[in-house]
Amino acid sequence: MSSPETEFEPRLVAFVCNWCTYAGADLAGTSRLKYASNVRVIRVPCSGRIDPLYIVKAFERGADGVLVSGCHPGDCHYAEGNYYARRRFTILRDLLYHIGIEPERLQFSWVSAAEGAKWADLINDLTAKLRAVGPFTGYRELIDASRGPS
Amino acid sequence: MSRIGVFICHCGENIGSVVDCERAAKTLASHPGVAYSTDYKYMCSDPGQNLVKKAIADHKLTGVVVSACSPRMHEPTFRNAAADAGLNPYLCEMANIREHCSWVHEDKEAATRKAIELIRLMVEKVKANEELQPIHVPITKRALVIGGGIAGIQAALDIANAGHEVVLVEREPSIGGHMLQLSETFPTLDCSQCILTPRMVEVARHPKIKLYTYSEVEALDGYIGNFEVTIRMKARSVDIEKCTGCGACMQKCPSRKILSEFNAGLLVPDPENPKKKLGYRTAIYTPSPQAVPNKPVIDREHCLYFQKGKCGVCAKVCPTDAIDYTQEETTVTEKVGAVVVATGYQVWSVAKAAEDYPYLGYGEYGYGTHPDIIDGLQFERLLSASGPTSGRVLRPSNGKEPKTVVFLSCVGSRDNEKGFTYCSKICCMYLSKHAMLYKHKVHDGQAYNFYMDIRAGGKTYDEFTRRTIEEDGCIYLRGRVSRIFPRGDKLVVQGADTLSNAQVEVEAELVVLATAITAQPDAEQLAQRLRVAYDKDRFFSEAHPKLRPVESQTAGIFFAGACQGPKDIPESVAQASAAASKAAGLLNADELEREPVVAQVHRAAPPVYSICFGCFFCERVCPYGAIEREEIRDRGGNLIKTVARVNEGLCTGCGLCAASCRANAITLRGFNDEQLFAVVNAIGEEQEESKAATP
Amino acid sequence: MTLGYYPGCALKAHATSLEYGISTEAVLAELGIEFQEIPDWNCCGASAGHMTNSALTRALNVRNLALAEAAGLTDVLAPCPLCAKELALANNEVKEDAELLEQAQDAAEMVYKCTARPLTLVQYLHEQRDLVRERAAGKLPDIPVACYYGCLHTRPPDAMGFDDAEQPTTMDELCRILGLQPVEWSHKTECCGAGFTMSKPDVVARLTGRILGAASLAGAEAVVVACPMCHANLDMRQGEAAADAGLGDDFHMPIIYLAQILGLALGIAPDDLSLGTHFVDPSDIVARLRGEPPLETPGDEAPEEK
């Protein structure tokens, strides 16, 4: 792998639900599947727990991309949480696009506890996509600008 | 002031061969708030856990992060260790550096950097964790068993004998289920009613079992330890207190041509009088002579009194005046602490399906319309001494003894095209039994069995099927049947024998189809009423297919028998006892301890009382109805405002409310905003540090 | 709306079942249905095409459908079920898969907007049964006939999308409307041997023997078909079939096209329905269907042509 200065390595933050996607990612691990190491997983009990502000904060803190992943429709451990997550996400995505965050940077997926391979492929695909889109500098520029000339 | 302990596990070679654990421990030692940081070979071992406990004591730790495998694996292990050492278990978290790191990345440098970052994230979370105490909930020491077949009966008896009261609800007029309809059971050829009826009587007589028959479960409210079930008692039109079961009403009832559900709709011409058909029941009836309770029910749809206002003979002949035409449906509620669902199965029909039904039926078998094409349950009734023919095997078309009977396996099962994908499990065994019993009754008869595989995995099952082939001369042909059609008064069965590579045509006088075992027609509605999960075939879903076969994912509700998937009697009984032991175990405790990862609504001193302003959006989104309304009143009793309150017994900790609350008034303990923002904020730190960090 | 008409090789080009084409066209004309042959139609690939190259077959049929669409003909009547099946399968495939549509369009050098709908004659007449009822209800005597659907009218169910795959009844319904007495019989959809008539005629003799035997057993005096292949196999080998089944030296079972039956009910002359070109002479039953006294001896020459 080339050094960080020459090749951009995207930072991907994933908010995943405990019952399906986290378990699916565990399965990818027990199956020893290999995928890009750019992702940082944050576990929540249900994708419905995810407040849109967490996603915004992640971008502010330097994430180049955010993934939200939960149980397949109909399979939510808490019956309906993933439906609310999906609705929230749909609106959030439009809103973020409106303020300048490219739609490729925010992804939503369903990964079940049995889909280890799907998780691995998903991370690889997203990482590649983010590498192509480039670093997210929007917030950085805002923060620097607000600080004035240093 | 945080004093977090970081413990990094090598997990033998699993983590240690990829992640440089020593370096990680050194790096974390200088992270603000970390008072102790070390690495060790096997954290989950006794010495490993002792390491944690000792460090908690020696370094007065206020929190612990164990960086090892997935929390789904060992979170309880380390939380218990922390609790043993006097640290609140919810101040212990795990960082997953195995399944999510060492096992999935090959670049050691990248993996080590990622591990360090993951541990740092959890350290920041633990800093924001609060001490949580388990919630104690009282338990009603009674159980509900839904379904009175062999599984329900067994579960009810086991729980009652363990000392707890049982409410048993059965929707048919009698308990006994499908097992009561069988003639003899494999592999022992025990008479089914003989082994079942003593248990049925025991249930009826048991002082701790309250039996509701001809009743249905309408609703189940509440939560584990504290359920309330609403039972709808259908109108029998008979006062069971007065009825003595003498049967005079049934003898005199003039409506004598109703298809009997107990006989699975089978009708056979009387050999002595072929114009008359055997197998009907009357409008006032008990399903079987061995019914428990042995009290009849009036089928109002077919009763002359209810349909036309005529007759009334049963009331006239009843010696105890037990007939009550004015009886109405009633609803009762019962409080229970545990529920066992044992609602059983139904036998699929090859008839042409309705427009909106996904299964097509078997047109190639004439949709089963020919009277001599019957299913397995109907053949049982033919064999049964209490059946329409008193146990004689006779053709439904003409009442004569069939000399050639063809049995077909897998009709609708193991079929991706037009049936169900699963194996119905019991058919290979019962067809073998059918062929055997047929031969015992019709000595000069010949049985054929068109099969795909012979699934005889139970104890002495394989020997049983071999007997059918070797001693009773049943010809087993490995192949499917492509068509069945009538020719003259016989049925031509066209199939294949793949082992000898030949097409086979058999002229049969009776054809028995082993149709699929399916979920009950209203299984989906019942599952939704109980809030339990079910699969694509409407069998109820167990919590874990290997290790938790009788528990549902809904706390306090257990499964037993064929409602969870096709199975035979020994398995149903085993599951029933298993479910009973789970239920009894639950009911034995005086109180139930629940995980405290539940939501809570903000409360403060007057004049604020709560930042909740009563929009109840949380109430709308909660899938469990766990949000209640609380009126906040001042000392004078005046209403200030109505705010939300979480019922900790019902709350399952999903956090949907917390993400939906506009005022941020409701939080989820264990995953509140402070904790999650702490984690997200820590991501930024890594980026800055990693740029400066030495690789 | 003008009905598109796809006769296919059997009804027109090679005319191996010319009588089916003639009778169908006569009946459509008599019923006052405006129809137009698809201009420049090509082979549907039902014989060699569909087994050798699916992309070719799809392209052939997309071209046919595109030609129909271009001529403003959205309902395409294909009286031969083999053609109808090829058209329907191709239509379904390209409707669901944009890549296949593009490939077929490129090969056919035409644009297809997926608006055409292929139909068999049975399907079309069943849809028009009110008109049939109006013009021909009860016009035929209640002679027992066996309606033979063969392998393709209702199968594959996804492609043909009509009637019950294993126990169809639409042809029976139409015959009943005309006054005939369709029998309940066991071999409505059983295989006749199809293309093996060339390479393994003994197989066809056996299979058709079973079909004709079942029809006889059910009391039928004629078999009604709506497919050139069914007609050919059932009509051509009755001697061998009867011998194979051990039922004498011949079946003498007339095999009549649905279009011919309907034509007779509408009062069209037998010669205009090409009833004189079958292997098994149907003159006797034709006479009875027309309400004429039966001929003196069966197998006599047909009555003098008009």
- B582 and B608: one domain? no
- Token pair, residue B469, equals 């082939």
Nearest CA among B122, B60, B128 for reference residue B97? B122
CATH fold for domain C138-289: Rossmann fold (3.40.50)
The full length of chain B comes to 695
One domain for residues B459 and B357: yes
Whether the CB-CB separation of B204 and B316 falls below 8 Å is answered with: no
Domain residue limits at B318:
248-328
What token pair was written down for B341?
């669902």
Q: Specify the domain boundaries for CATH 3.40.50.11810 within chain C.
A: 138-289
Residue of B nearest to C215 (CA): B487
Helix spans in chain A (H): 21-30, 52-60, 81-98, 116-133, 138-147
Tell me, yes or no, whether A88 lies in a domain: yes
A150 assigned to some structural domain: no
Is B678 a member of any domain? Answer: no
Q: In terms of domains, do B373 and B487 share one?
A: yes
Question: End of a domain among B132, B166, B196?
Answer: B132
Q: Which CATH number fits domain C3-119: 1.10.540.10, 1.10.260.40, 1.10.3720.10, 1.20.1050.140?
A: 1.20.1050.140
Could you give the CA distance from residue B390 to residue B46 in angstroms, rounded to a whole number? 67
Report yes or no: B152 and B145 within 8 Å, Cβ to Cβ.
Answer: yes
Q: Are B31 and B120 in contact (CB under 8 A)?
A: yes
Nearest-CB residue to B486 (from C166, C167, C186): C186
Whether A102 maps to a domain, the answer reads: yes
Position B680 in a domain: no
Spatial contact of C114 and C101, defined as CB atoms under 8 Å apart = yes
Question: To the nearest whole angstrom, how far is the Cα of B22 from the nearest Cα of chain A?
Answer: 20
Q: Is A74 on the interface with B (CB under 8 A)?
A: no
B687 within domain boundaries: no
Q: To which residue do tokens 């576990």 refer?
A: A43
Rounded to a whole number, what is the distance in angstroms from the first to the last CA of chain B? 31
Give residue-wise pLDDT tens across range C7-64: 999 998 777 889 999 999 999 999 999 999 999 999 999 988 888 999 999 999 999 9
Question: What interhelical angle do C201-217 and C228-236 show, nearest 10?
Answer: 90
Co-location of B313 and B340 in the same domain: no
Is B32:B54 a contact under the CB 8 Å cutoff?
Answer: no
Query: Is B98 at the interface with chain A, CB within 8 A?
Result: yes
Strands (E), B97-200: 135-138, 142-146, 165-169, 184-185, 190-191
Of C164, C165, C186, the CB nearest to B485: C186
CA distances from B61 to B9, B36, B40, B96, B126 (A): 18, 8, 18, 21, 11
Global pTM reads: 0.81
CB atoms C190 and B483 under 8 Å = yes
Whichever domain contains B661, its CATH number is 3.30.70.3270
Beta bridge partners of C241: none
Please indicate whether, in this complex, the C-beta atoms of B483 and C214 are within 8 angstroms of each other.
Answer: no
My answer on whether B365 and B514 are in the same domain is yes
The token pair at C92 is 């379904």
In chain A, how many domains are there?
Answer: 1
Q: Say whether residue C187 is in contact with chain B using an 8 A CB cutoff.
A: yes
Amino acid found at B22 = E
Q: Is-contact B616 B583, C-beta < 8 A?
A: no
Question: In angstroms, rounded to a whole number, what is the distance separating the alpha carbons of residues B48 and B29?
Answer: 19
Residue B68 domain-assigned (yes or no): yes
Instruction: Return the closest-CA partner of residue B232 out of B329, B336, B343.
Output: B329
- CB contacts under 8 A, A 90-119 vs B, are none
B683 in any annotated domain: no
Residue with the two structure tokens 């000792």: B54
Residue B685 lies in a domain: no
Residues of chain B with pLDDT under 70: 354-359, 684-695
**Assigned domain for A86 exists:** yes
Task: Check A18 against B676: CB less than 8 A apart.
Answer: no
For chain C, where do the domains classified as CATH 1.20.1050.140 start and end? 3-119
CA–CA gap between residue B530 and residue B217 (Å, rounded)? 9
Using DSSP's 3-state secondary structure scheme, residue B35 falls into strand
Asked if B132 contacts B669 with a C-beta cutoff of 8 angstroms, the reply is: yes
Does residue B134 have a cis bond before it (omega within 30 degrees)?
no
Q: Which residue has the tokens 């109907």?
A: B378
Strands B338-341 and B142-146: parallel
In a domain? residue A3: no
Supply C116's token pair.
Answer: 């055409």
What CATH number corresponds to the domain at position A63?
3.40.50
* C218 and C186 Cβ atoms separated by less than 8 Å: yes
Instruction: Give a yes or no: residue B695 inside a domain.
Output: no
Pair (B125, B152) in one structural domain? no
How many contacts (CB atoms, under 8 Å) link A and B? 128
CA A147 to CA B7: how far, in whole Å? 39
Per-residue pLDDT, B458: 92
Tell me which H or E stretch contains C10: none
What's the pLDDT score for residue C126?
96
B430 near B181, Cβ under 8 Å?
A: no
- Domains held by chain B: number: 5
CA distance C290 to chain B (A): 32
Domain limits for position A23: 12-143
Q: Where does B337-451 show beta strands of DSSP type E?
A: 338-341, 345-347, 373-375, 404-411, 446-451
Coarse DSSP helix, strand, coil percentages of chain A, rounded to the nearest 5 percent = 45, 15, 35
pLDDT along chain C (306 residues), means of 10: 93 85 95 95 90 93 96 95 95 95 95 95 96 95 96 90 91 97 95 92 95 95 96 94 89 96 95 92 93 62 46
ipTM, two decimals: 0.92
User: Measured between CB atoms, which of B98, B621, B677 is closest to A84?
Assistant: B621
> For residue B584, which phi and psi values (nearest 5 degrees)?
-65, -40
